[in-house]
Structure 1
Amino acid sequence: MTDAVEPELPRGIALAWGVAATPQRGPKREMSVERIVEAAIEIADAEGLGAVSMAAVAAKLGFTPMSLYRYVTAKEDLVLLMQEEATGSPSEASREAGGWRERLEALFGEQLQHYLRHPWVLDIPISGVPATPNTAAWMDAGISALDETPLTYEERLAVMLLVTGTAHWAGTVLAGYARVEREQGVGSDTIARNEDAMFRALITAEAYPSLRAAIEAGAFLDESDPFAFALERGLDGVAAYIAAAAEGRRGVRTQWVTLDDADIADDKKFREAQKAVRQAEKALRDARKLERLAAREARDRKARQRSES
C-alpha cells in the first residue's frame, strides 16, 4: 500500500481554506482577500455578476488591478470566493431541527434564502462540486441529517441533491420574478394576472387541451408554493424508500444519464439528419394543428346544418 499523493490545490481552493501563501509585496494593510471579496459581492449585489471584474473591484477599493492580482490571481478564483462567502454555511438550528425530514426542510429553506439575498450566485456556471469549506459544510449537514436512516452514503448524497436542486431551481424562479417586480414596479399578484391573461389569449383547447384545462382551473393564479409542494412530495418518496430499505427492500440503482450520440455530435451528416428530424417534427405539429382546426370547423358546420334543418 502506497501513501496517497496530496493534490496541488488550485489557488482559489487554497484561498477558500486559508492555506494559500500571502503576497510578500503590496499594500497589505489596506488590502486583503477578504476586502476584495467583500467589494466584489457588493458590486454583484447591486449590478449582477456580469458587472464584476478585477478592474471594477480594484476601482471600488481605490487600487490598480495589478494590486488585486497579488492576492487573487484570476477572476475565476474571485468568483469562487464570492460564492463561498455568499452561500454561507448551515446554521446549528438547521442541524438540530428534529428528524431527518425536518432537518432537510430547514436546510432547503436556508439555502433558498441565501440565493434570494444574492441571486447572482445562481448565474455562476456549474462545473463540479466546489471543494470549499462552506460547500463541505452543506454536504455534511445533509448527510448527517440522514445518519439515523438505513440509507447508504451514496443514497444520502442523492437525497441531498434532491434538496439542493429544488432550492437552486426555486431560487432561480423566485429571483427572476423579484427582478421583474423591481424593474416594472408591480407586485407578484399583478404579474400572475398578466401571465394568466396572456396564456388565456394564446393557449387554445384544440392545440393544448391539458394546459388549457389547467388555465381554466386557475392553476396560474393559485397562491400556494409549488416548490414547497415538490419538495414535500420528493421527501414523501424518500420516506417510503427509507421504510422499504429498513425492511431490506431496495430498488434498482439507476445509472448516470448520458447525452445520446455525444461522440458523433460533430459529424456533418449526423447533424443534417437531426435537422431533418426537427423539421419533420415541426411539420407534423403543424399538420396536427391544421387537423384540429379542420375538425373544429367540421363540427361547427355540422352544428349549423342541424340547427337549419
Structure 2
Amino acid sequence: MAPENAAEPELPRGVALAWGVATNPQRGPKREMSIERIVDAAVEIADAEGLGAVSMSRVAQSLGYTTMSLYRYVTAKDDLLVLMQEQGIGLPPEPEAGLDDADWRERLRGLGRAQVDVHRAHPWLLDIPIQGTPITPNNLAWMDAMLDALSAAPLDEDERVAIILLVTGQLRWQSTIERSYEVAAGAAGIDPQTIDDGRSAVLDAFVTAEEFPALRRAVDAGVFREGEDPFAFGLERVLDGVAEYIARRAGGDRPAPPPVSRETPEVAADKKVREARKSVREAEKRMRDARRLERQAVREARARHQVD
C-alpha cells in the first residue's frame, strides 16, 4: 500500500488513458469519436500492415476524420502506441481448472503458451521497444499472474521477479524467431516450412564432415528436417533450471549470484587494457581468416580429386 502522504505521480497521457484517469478532451469532432475507436482502428492497421503503417494521419483517414481531430484525444503517437499495446496484449488467461498453487510449472507453461499466441495474433507488439518495468494495467496483470504462479514456491520476491524475466525472455525470443520466419515467407510468397526445407537442402549439400564434422552429424541425424521443436525444448530446460533452484531453496540453500565484474571506468580506459583488447580482436580476425583459407583449400582439394 502506498503511503498516505505520497504524491500522486504525474503520468504520461498514454499511461493515464490506459488507467482511465486522463481528462477528457474539451471538444471533439461533430460525429462521435472515442479513444476506443481510435485504438481499434490503429490496431486493425497494425495487424494488417505492421506497426510502420500506423500514423496519426492514417488512423484519422481510416475513421473519416482529420488528423487534428485525433490530437484532441491522443496527443502524440507515443501515447497511441501505449494504448495499442494495452489492447494487443489483453488480459492473461485464468489458471486452468484443477491446478493448485503448488503447480507453478504448469501455470507458467500455460501463461507462456498464451503469451506466444498473443504475439502470433499481433506480431507488431514485438516492434514496440521495451522501456523498463511495465506500468499499464494489462501489462501489470500479466506480471502479476506470473508472480502468482510462483507464490507457493520457497522464493523471495526478488527471485520471483528474476524468474519471470528469465521465462518471458525465452518466450519473446521464440516469438521473435517465429515472426521472422513469417515475414520472410510472406515476402517470398511461400509457406514458412518451405524456408526450413530449402535451408536443410543447402546444409545437406554444402556441410561436409571434413569442414564441419559436428554439424554434419546433426545434418545426417535429420535435425534440420524433422527435429523436435527447439523452442519447446528450450522453455522446458529453463523450467528445469527453475525447478532445480526451487528445490535447493526448499532445502535451505540459497545459491550465490554470479560474480559481478569489478572493472571500473578508470581500468576500462587504461591504455594497456585497450591495447590488449585490440590485440585479442586482431588475433580473432587472423583465426577467422585462417579458417576461411582452410575451408577454401579443402574445397579445392575435393574438386581436384573429383576431376582425377
Q: TM (normalized to structure 1)?
A: 0.84
Q: Which amino acid aligns with 1:59?
A: Q
Q: Is the counterpart of residue 156 in structure 1 residue 160 in structure 2?
A: yes
Aligned residue among 64, 67, 73 for 1:65? 67
Once residues 165 and 251 of structure 1 are traced to their aligned partners in structure 2, the CA distance between those partners, rounded to angstroms, is 21
Alignment of 1:172-183 (within 5 A): 172-183=176-187
Report the Cα distance in structure 2 between the residues aligned to 1:68 and 1:231, rounded to whole angstroms.
Answer: 42
Selected match of 2:215 from 211, 225, 229: 211
Alignment map for 1:128-167 (pairs within 5 Å): 128-167=132-171
Residues 1:249 and 2:240 are matched in the alignment = no
For residues 220 and 28 of structure 2, what CA distance do their matches in structure 1 show? 65
Aligned residue among 206, 220, 226 for 1:222: 226
Unaligned runs of 5+ in 1: 304-309
Match of 2:240 among 233, 236, 245: 236
Q: Answer yes or no: is the 8 Å Cα contact 1:23–1:70 preserved in 2.
A: yes
Q: Does 1:83 align with 2:68?
A: no
Q: Establish whether residue 37 from structure 1 lines up as the match of residue 45 from structure 2.
A: no
Return 135-144 or 86-95, whichever deviates more. Answer: 86-95
1:20 equivalent in structure 2:
22
Mapped to 2, the partners of 1:255 and 1:27 lie a distance apart of: 59
Which position in structure 2 is the counterpart of 1:74?
76
Tell me: CA distance 1:2–1:136, structure 2 relative to 1, closer, same or farther (3 Å).
closer
Query: 2:284 corresponds to which residue?
Result: 281
Is residue 206–residue 293 contact of structure 1 (8 Å, CA) maintained in 2?
no
The alpha-carbon deviation at position 299 of structure 1 amounts to 11
Listed one character per residue, the Cα deviations across residues 85-144 of structure 1 (whole Å, up to 9, x for unaligned) are 001111124597441111000000000000000001111122223310011100100111
1:197-240 C-alpha deviation (Å, 9 max, x unpaired): 12234444444433333222221112422111111111111111
Query: 1:193: how far off?
Result: 1.4
2-structure distance, mates of 1:214, 1:225: 15
Partners of 1:107 and 1:142 within 8 A in 2? yes
| Residue 62 to residue 263, structure 1, CA distance change in 2 (3 Å) | farther
Q: What is the TM-score normalised by the length of structure 2?
A: 0.84
Equivalence for 1:122:
126
- Structure 2 residue 13 is matched with structure 1 residue 11: yes
Distance of aligned partners of 1:195 and 1:257 in 2 relative to their CA distance in 1, 3 Å threshold: farther
Name whichever of 6-15 and 136-145 sits farther off: 6-15
- Find the aligned partners of 1:136 and 1:116 in 2 and give their Cα distance: 20
> Aligned pair in 2 of structure 1 residues 264, 20: CA closer, same or farther (>3 Å)?
farther
Distance 1:299 1:185 in 2: 37
Letter in 2 for 1:151: L
* CA–CA separation in structure 2 for the residues paired with 1:295 and 1:201: 15
Deviation of the 1:291 alpha carbon:
4.4
Deviation digits for residues 48-98 of structure 1, max 9, x if unmatched? 000000111011111111111111111111111101100111112459744
- Render the CA deviation track for 1:134-169: whole Å, top value 9, x for unaligned: 111001001111111101111111111122112211
1:298 deviates by: 9.0
Alpha-carbon distance between aligned partners in 1 of 2:181 and 2:261, rounded to the nearest angstrom: 31
Note closer, same or farther for the CA distance 1:110–1:35 as it changes in structure 2 (3 Å cut): same
- 1:100–1:209 distance in 2 versus 1, CA, 3 Å: same
Alignment correspondent of 1:113 = 117
CA distance in 1 between counterparts of 2:182 and 2:293 reads 39
Q: 1:229 to 1:70 in 2, by over 3 A?
A: same
Determine the structure 2 residue equivalent to 1:195. Answer: 199
CA pair 266-51 structure 1, distance change in 2 beyond 3 A: farther
Q: Which amino acid aligns with 1:124?
A: I
2-side partners of 1:65 and 1:282: how far apart? 53
User: Structure 2: 5+ residue runs without aligned partners?
Assistant: none
